[in-house]
Structure 1
Amino acid sequence: MHIGVQELIVILLIAAVVFGGGKLAGVGKALGKSVREFREEVKGEESDALKEK
């Protein structure tokens, strides 16, 4: 199941109403940081697994 552009817009509008503009920016920043850290950890584990072989 894929989320289309229309569904994404609706979700963002609902989030803007619930959290407000200022808090939404903070939530986006925290989410971006979390995703970045997750990707770094996954990449680190993959490189560690390749080194062990």
Structure 2
Amino acid sequence: MISQAFFLFISGAEIGFILFIVLLVFGADKVPEIARGLGKGIRQIKDATNDIKSEITKGVEKQGIDVDITKDVQKQIDQVKEEVEEVTGPIKRKF
């Protein structure tokens, strides 16, 4: 998720330039090894994150705390959206 947000602020030309510099510095032989290592590292971080999330969820469920709070929050958000649309509807029509 962090990497996706990071790449939103970098254009295609900048990514190409960075890849060109990496190719010059490390050479064509090392780039696949580096990419594999980065992929394995990212995968390990994702696995660790999922393990932590599952442990937290298990602990919360054992204590009897409601994990699906998001449904209630989403309902409230939808209600507020409807109320705002009811109020702003006539205003939008006038302009």
SS at match of 2:10: coil
Per the alignment, residue 46 of structure 2 pairs with 39
Percent of paired sites with the same residue: 28
Highest RCO, 1 vs 2 (Cα 8 Å, sep ≥ 6): 1
- Alpha-carbon offset, residue 7 of structure 1: 1.0
RMSD: 1.1
Aligned with residue 7 of structure 1, among 10, 14, 17: 14
Q: Counting helix residues as a fraction of each chain, which structure ranks higher?
A: 1
Larger Rg: 2
Structure 1 unaligned residues grouped into runs of 5+: none
Segments of 4+ moved more than 6 angstroms: none
TM (normalized to structure 2)?
0.53
Counterpart Cα distance in 2 of 1:40 and 1:29:
16
Superposed displacement of residue 24, structure 1: 0.9
How many Å separate the matches in 2 of 1:17 and 1:26? 15
